[in-house]
Structure 1
Amino acid sequence: MDVAIAILVLLFSLTVHESAHALAALRMGDDTASRMGRITLNPLAHIDPIGTIVVPLVMALLPGGIMFGWAKPVPVNTLRLRNPMRDHAVIAAAGPASNLVLAGVFAVLFGLLDGYAHARLQSGIVDLGAAYTFLRLLTQWGVLLNILLALFNLIPLPPLDGSWIMMAALKDELARSYARLYPYGFLLVIVLMNVGLGRLLWRGVLYVSAWYLQISNLVSRIFV
Structure 2
Amino acid sequence: MLNPNADHLQIIIVWILLVVSLTIHEWAHAYTAWKLGDDTAAQMGRMTFNPIVHLDIFGTVLLPLLGVPFGWAKPVPVDPSRFRHGISPQFGMFVTAIAGPISNIVQAVTGMSLLIVLLKFDLFSNPDLQIALLNVLYIYISMNVLLAVFNMVPIVPLDGSRVADFFMPRAFRPAWEAWVNLGPLPLILLILLPRMTGVSPVQSATQWVMGHVLAIVTWFLV
Normalising by the smaller structure, the TM-score range is: 0.7 to 0.9
Offset at residue 177 of structure 1 (A)? 5.5
TM-score w.r.t. the length of structure 1 is: 0.83
Q: Tell me the equivalent position of 1:69.
A: 71
Summarize deviations over 1:179-217 as a string: whole Å, max 9, x none.
454464323212133335962211111111122224433
Among candidates 45, 69, 76, match of residue 37 of structure 1: 45
Letter of the 2:56 partner, please give it: D
| Secondary structure of the structure 2 residue equivalent to 1:38 | coil
Instruction: Please say if 1:194 is aligned against 2:192.
Output: yes
Instruction: Please say if 1:58 is aligned against 2:66.
Output: yes
Matches within 5 A, 1:134-213: 134-171=132-169, 174-175=172-173, 178-182=176-180, 184-195=182-193, 199-213=200-214
Letter of the 1:156 partner, please give it: P
* Partners of 1:7 and 1:56 within 8 A in 2: yes
* Partners of 1:112 and 1:220 within 8 A in 2: no
RMSD of aligned Cα (Å): 2.4
Question: Structure 1 residues 77 and 177 mapped into 2: Cα distance closer, same or farther (>3 Å)?
Answer: farther
Among candidates 18, 22, 31, match of residue 14 of structure 1: 22
Summarize deviations over 1:17-65 as a string: whole Å, max 9, x none.
0000011111221111112222221111211111111111112xxxxx5
Q: Tell me the equivalent position of 1:62.
A: none
| Secondary structure of the structure 1 residue equivalent to 2:163 | helix
Offset at residue 176 of structure 1 (A)? 6.3
Q: Which has the higher helix share?
A: 1
* Partners of 1:37 and 1:45 within 8 A in 2: yes
Structure 2 runs not aligned, ≥5 long:
1-8
Among candidates 111, 115, 130, match of residue 116 of structure 2: 111
Question: Structure 1 residues 94 and 170 mapped into 2: Cα distance closer, same or farther (>3 Å)?
Answer: same
C-alpha distance in structure 1 between counterparts of 2:17 and 2:79, whole Å: 30
| Secondary structure of the structure 2 residue equivalent to 1:39 | coil
Offset at residue 171 of structure 1 (A)? 4.5
Seq. identity, %: 34
TM-score w.r.t. the length of structure 2 is: 0.83
Structure 1 runs not aligned, ≥5 long:
60-64
* Higher-RCO chain (CA-CA 8 Å, sequence separation at least 6): 1
Question: Structure 1 residues 180 and 28 mapped into 2: Cα distance closer, same or farther (>3 Å)?
Answer: farther
C-alpha distance in structure 1 between counterparts of 2:44 and 2:171, whole Å: 34
Question: Structure 1 residues 198 and 96 mapped into 2: Cα distance closer, same or farther (>3 Å)?
Answer: farther
Letter of the 1:128 partner, please give it: P
C-alpha distance in structure 1 between counterparts of 2:190 and 2:57, whole Å: 24
Among candidates 92, 109, 116, match of residue 87 of structure 1: 92
* Partners of 1:108 and 1:219 within 8 A in 2: no
Letter of the 1:71 partner, please give it: A
Once the two structures are overlaid, the 10-residue window that deviates more, 174-183 or 18-27, is: 174-183
> How many correspondences in the alignment?
208
Offset at residue 137 of structure 1 (A)? 1.9
Matches within 5 A, 1:206-221: 206-220=207-221
